[in-house]
A and B are shown apart, each in its own frame.
Chain A
Amino acid sequence: MAAARPQPRFPELDTQPFWDATKRRELMYQTCDGCHAVIFYPRRHCPECGGRDTAWHVSRGEGTVYTFSVIMQSRHPAFADLGAYAVAYVDLDEGFRLMSNIVGVADPVQDVKCGMRVRLRWEDQGADAVALPMFEPA
């Protein structure tokens, strides 16, 4: 059996609310109350204006592949024997860009395209563990 994927580690106060929400299968992002910027990666402050008042929202989990690579060679024990897999930046419709995997395709080189529509698919890692937000063709 392959080694476990690298996991988010805690305490890490900026992204902890994001990862806690994945246990409820909620993909969350923030906006700034002051300047209305979409904030991502998660942070306590707004990187646009420095403001400290932010609001959390649940994404609908629909978006577009901005770009991707298909990893053919990884020496990391969790990924070395996976075969080719796609890592992508996904632009969610709410305006934030997330790094993730594109799954549910037979051949990632042929089947994943920049600009293709995708939807959220949770990768369950066990009852008490965080779930990983992945994406499949919509």
Chain B
Amino acid sequence: MAQRRDAAIVGIHEYPLRVDGSVSALQIKAECAARSLEDAGLSWQDVDAVYDTGGDQGISGLAIAEYFGLKPRLIDTTYVGGSSFEFHANHALSMIAAGKCNVALLTYGATAHSDRRAIGTAGATSAGPATFVNNMEDPWGLTLIGNYAMVKNRHMHQYGTTNEQFAHISVATRRHAMRNPEAVKAMTDLQFVGVREITVSDVLESRLIAYPLHLLECCMVSDGGGAVVIASPEVARNARKKPVWIIGTGEATKYRENGGDITVSAGARAAKPAFGEAGVTPAEIDVLMAYDSFSITVMCLIEDLGFCAKGEGGAYVSEGHLGFDDPRKPALNTDGGGLSSNHPGQRGIFLLIEAARQLRGESTSQVNDAKLAVAVGNGGQLGSRHATAVTILAAD
């Protein structure tokens, strides 16, 4: 079966700054849109489909096309947290293949750092109407970081995974970040203690934010944004850069369940259709862009996508698999990830952007002869309700 060549990423742009008090989230989106279209060699009015979370700076998906000044014939406002952008890319593939649009624009912008949003430690807010979920969860003082920490704790209990093993995820991605000038500037501007490569001991000696998660296992809170342009084969053939083809997609959700296994993410169900459609196996993947809100998110996604067996992620990540220059594939989060490069709240778009850079040969931690990449987004909160989408990408 031939791999599908129905839609490709043709334009990308990542907003270079992670601390910038001079622009709004919408301005970041519009600037990234323009730069990604420039990257593709397309013009503003070529866009005929708008994909948006419908929440940046509180603007609706309806109003974002007005703000941009576009008259799309397709709009999709799927919002499932940080993985929204993988859902958007997957949906764009389907709609382009169905002939419903030719040039899809995905954008993201946020000023979480400048707004001083305490995303991970704020706890429950009483905004919006009461629901069965917030009535059962708000009284206990669980923070977002605590939610993920509960998954890590169960993983350690169930499989014997150690803190040392988890720390390797932070160590490997920091090494990649130190090779990425924008990530170095991000860590400098955000006043990280020690903008340098880190060791397993550094991670374990950083303070516990929510036991058993340490500070250096948690993503940053930055400003930032980005844009991705996805287009039909006809448009892609005339684009400025080599197209990066979307060859397989899958999505799933997962909830707190009576008697359920909290260590298994929705990635377990999202992966199978994606790899099946692409006709490739995890062993063939060169680059894994896995949503690293926290170390435990990466651990679950590595296992659930089948890069190793369930429960064996601890051994897998500590065997040195993760580096861009390691002969064992795939390399992990070669831009530095949310842990060390960019996380304004919803990181999914950066997974697509760095995967595309790798398959074009443009990464600052370029994997030799990279042909296949996986972007796997995980949004919501891992320990209660989340959505995972897998996007498999191939070089031209």
- The interface of chain A, by Cβ under 8 A from chain B, is 5-12, 14-15, 18-19, 38, 40-43, 66-76, 78-79, 82, 84-85, 87-89, 91, 95-101, 108-109, 113-115, 132
Taking the closest CB of chain A, its distance from the CB of B185, in whole angstroms, is: 26
Cα distance A40–B143 when bound, in Å?
21
Residues of B within 8 A of A41 (CB): 132-133, 136
For A75, the chain B residues whose CB sits under 8 A away are: 118, 121-123
Q: Decide: A70 near B137, CB < 8 A? Known: A6-B124, A9-B126, A96-B258.
A: no
Q: Report yes or no: B139 in contact with A7, Cβ–Cβ below 8 A.
A: yes
CB of B192 within 8 A of chain A?
A: no
Using CB atoms, name the residue of chain A closest to B384: A99
From the candidates B150, B154, B258, name the one contacting A95 in the complex (CB within 8 A).
Answer: B258
B208 touches A (CB below 8 Å): yes
Return A63 CB to nearest CB of chain B, in Å: 12
Residues of chain B lying within 8 A (CB to CB) of residue A109: 211
Instruction: Say yes or no: B130 contacts A12, CB within 8 Å.
Output: yes
Q: Mind listing 26 A-B residue pairs with CB under 8 Å? A: A5-B139, A6-B126, A8-B130, A8-B135, A12-B129, A12-B130, A14-B132, A41-B132, A43-B132, A67-B151, A67-B154, A68-B153, A69-B142, A69-B153, A70-B210, A71-B143, A72-B210, A73-B210, A74-B141, A78-B123, A88-B150, A89-B150, A89-B262, A113-B157, A114-B158, A115-B157
The CA-CA distance from A110 to B133 in the complex, in Å, is: 30
How many of B's residues come within 8 Å of A, CB to CB? 45
User: Interface of B with A (CB < 8 Å)?
Assistant: 118, 121-124, 126, 129-143, 145-147, 149-151, 153-154, 157-158, 207-213, 256-260, 262, 383
Give the residues in chain A near B118, CB-CB below 8 Å: 75
A12 touches B132 (CB 8 A): yes
Q: Are A72 and B211 in contact (CB under 8 A)?
A: yes
8 further A-B contacts with Cβ under 8 Å, apart from A6-B139, A87-B142, A108-B211, are A10-B130, A11-B130, A41-B132, A69-B211, A72-B209, A73-B145, A78-B141, A100-B140
The residue in chain B whose Cβ has the minimal distance to the Cβ of A85 is: B141
A42: chain B residues within 8 A (beta carbon):
132, 136
Contact A40 B141 (CB under 8 A): no
A residues less than 8 Å from B145 (CB atoms): 73
